[in-house]
Structure formats: structure tokens, C-alpha cells
Chains A and B, each alone.
Chain A
Amino acid sequence: MSVRTLRGLLAYLGLGIVFGVVLIKSQVVSWFRIYEMFRFQAFHMYGVMGTAVLTAAISLYLIRRFALHAASGEPIVVAPKVLGRGTRYWLGGTLFGLGWGLVGACPGPLFALIGAGMSVIIVVLLAAVAGTWVYGAVRPSLPH
């Protein structure tokens, strides 16, 4: 591995650490917070997501407005997603949501919870990896 690759990986590791700290400190990794959100009993989660989207949207606008380049030198391009018939988005999204409500965590928080010391979440992560594997295997016969 070259020094440049290693330095790049360290930058992503560092950003991951920032994300992990925020996930814990804002409590969005908590099953209780997800349950509370789906019961519409607090504004907290909606506030976190809403301001995250707003901040990211303004940032993307500025990146495009000033045609910024990445530190690696290449121009920044966000590939547009193609809707198609949309089946994969609503059906896949709903299946994901069913699981999200049960375990109270999406993939980012799963890594955070393991780091936070909840060892049983390793089983949830392995089950999620299995779910992704099964999707990959049956993908050719699913409607997208």
C-alpha cells in the first residue's frame, strides 16, 4: 500500500471517528430515539435529519457553484440515481424500514453500537450482511 493511499484511508478513518462521536452524543444510535421518532413523540430525530439534509444541500450547492475539485485532484461529481419503475426504491425501502423499526438502527449506527460496547449487535450486523448476500444472490429475479 502506498503512502498516499494510506494517508487517504486515514482521512476517511478520521471523518468516521467524527461521525461516530456525533452519533453517540446526539443519541441517534439509540433504539429508544428511533421508537420515539416513529411514534411522533419528539422532534429530536426530525431536527437532526432535517438540519443534516439542509447543511448537506447548501454544501452541495456551493461545491457546484464554485466547481470545486477534490483534494485528490478530480472534479467532484455526484452521480444521479435513476428512478426507472421505482420498485427497488419503494419496496426495498419498505423492507429496510421494517427492519429499522425492529433493531432501531441503520447500518451506520450498527458500527457505532458495536464500538460502544454492545456486543450482541455483532449478531445484528452479521444478519444484515446475510441479508445483503441473499439480495445479491436473488437479484436477477427481483423486479427493480
Chain B
Amino acid sequence: MTLLTIVRQPWPWYVAGPIIGLIVPALLLVGNKSFGISSNLRHICAAALPGRVRFFQYDWRDAGGWNLAFALGIGIGAALAMRWLVGSDSIAIAPSTRASLAALGIRDFSGLAPHELFTWHALATWRGALLLVGGGFLVGFGTAYAGGCTSGHAIAGLADLQLPSLVAVVGFFAGGLLTTWIILPKLLGGW
């Protein structure tokens, strides 16, 4: 087995986790920057349509230029990985997960996300629109309100033993459990 065939297989958690964790000190060592992606949503607002909102009145180039470059890198890295580093494998989720999704009408497990929900065609249905637009809006509103997302609070914040981050992460999970166990079955399975 060559190195490339090994790299092309899905990476186990004990490989991926430590690499993600090392990005925290890498950003600090390069330029004393704190790992956190969601600030980019604020920088995009500040750059594109600050209006008269005080929250967006700051020098986004100075404060967020580095982070926007980082986010652009994420997109490029993902594109490179999809092009050269992905084998033919689909997402190997647990059989029990497949069963519970099949009960909700989701049967296509070939992509990164269900084809039934994540296409332009699905966006034209009320269910798809509610999921994609409503979900996206909540992510953006919630992360700005909480002052961070999974990267800033769940990884960088918890690693720094910050109590506010722990509170936020408990909130992330409470919301996610509510959606997965109550809202999704209603949204997908019918009222």
C-alpha cells in the first residue's frame, strides 16, 4: 500500500483531531491570532454592508484580513482534498444512523450531505428552504450572539479552560439535540 492510498482513505479521529488541535498554537505562533471562524461572518458584514450598525463599524481589513485569508484557505483545501485525496468511499455512518434516517425518508448516503435536502431543487421546496435558510440564519445569529462557534468555543475556548466557552458548548449541544430529536423528525417526517 503506497502512502497516497493510505492518505486517500478516510482519516480516523485520532489523526484528524490532533491536526485540528495544532492549528490553535500555529495561529498563535504565526501572529498571536485566536482560532475562530465565525468572526468572518462579522467581517463580511463589516466589509459588505455595515449600514449604521455599531457592531460593524471597525477596520475589518486590519482585524479580520488574516481570518478571511484563513477561511479562503479552508475552501481551497477542501477543493484540493476532494480533487486528489478522496477515494470512492461514501460516508461510513453507523448502520443505526442509516436506519433512523431511512425512516425519515433519507436514503441517499453517497454525498457529504443528503441529496434530498442539499440541492438547489430542494431549496425550492418549503422544507428545504426552511432547513437551509432557517438553519443558516440560526447559525449566524447564534454564533454572533454567543461570541464564537465550534472552533472558537468548543476547541480553542475549552482548551483554554474558559468557563464561558463551556456554557456556550452546552448550549450548542442542547440546541443540536433539540433539532435532531424533535425538529428534524417533524420537519422531515411530516407534522
Q: A57-B161, A119-B120 are in contact. Are A77 and B32 (CB under 8 A)?
A: yes
CA distance A94 to B141 in the complex (A): 11
CB <8 Å contact, B171 and A96? yes
CB <8 Å contact, B112 and A96? no
CB <8 Å contact, B147 and A92? yes
Count of chain A to chain B residue pairs whose CB atoms are closer than 8 Å in the complex: 523
Q: A21-B80, A121-B118, A131-B137 are in contact. Are A93 and B172 (CB under 8 A)?
A: yes
CB <8 Å contact, A19 and B23? yes
Partner of B41, one of A72, A105, A107, A137: A107
Q: A48-B16, A70-B32, A82-B164 are in contact. Are A136 and B146 (CB under 8 A)?
A: no
CB <8 Å contact, B113 and A31? yes
Q: A51-B14, A93-B153 are in contact. Are A103 and B132 (CB under 8 A)?
A: yes
Q: Give residues 69-105 of A contacting B (CB, 8 Å).
A: 70-72, 74-83, 86, 88-105
Partner of A55, one of B17, B119, B150, B161: B17
CB <8 Å contact, B74 and A100? no
Contacts of B7 in A (CB 8 A): 25
CB <8 Å contact, A103 and B18? no
Q: Smallest Cβ distance from A132 to chain B, in angstroms?
A: 4
Q: Give residues 30-46 of B contacting A (CB, 8 Å).
A: 30-35, 37-38, 40-42, 44-45
CB <8 Å contact, A81 and B118? no
| A interface footprint on B140-160 (CB within 8 Å = 1, 0 otherwise) | 111111110111011111111
Complex: chain A residue closest to B66, CB-CB: A12
CB <8 Å contact, B32 and A74? yes
CB <8 Å contact, A112 and B10? no
Complex: chain A residue closest to B10, CB-CB: A27
| A interface footprint on B23-67 (CB within 8 Å = 1, 0 otherwise) | 111111111111101101110110011010111100000000111
Complex: chain B residue closest to A36, CB-CB: B97
Residues of A within 8 A of B (CB): 5, 8-39, 41-57, 59-60, 62-63, 68, 70-72, 74-83, 86, 88-108, 110-121, 123-137, 139-140, 142
Residues of B within 8 A of A (CB): 7, 10-35, 37-38, 40-42, 44-45, 48-49, 51, 53-56, 65-67, 69-82, 85-86, 91, 93-94, 96-97, 100-101, 109, 111-114, 117-120, 122-123, 131-147, 149-151, 153-165, 167-181, 183-184
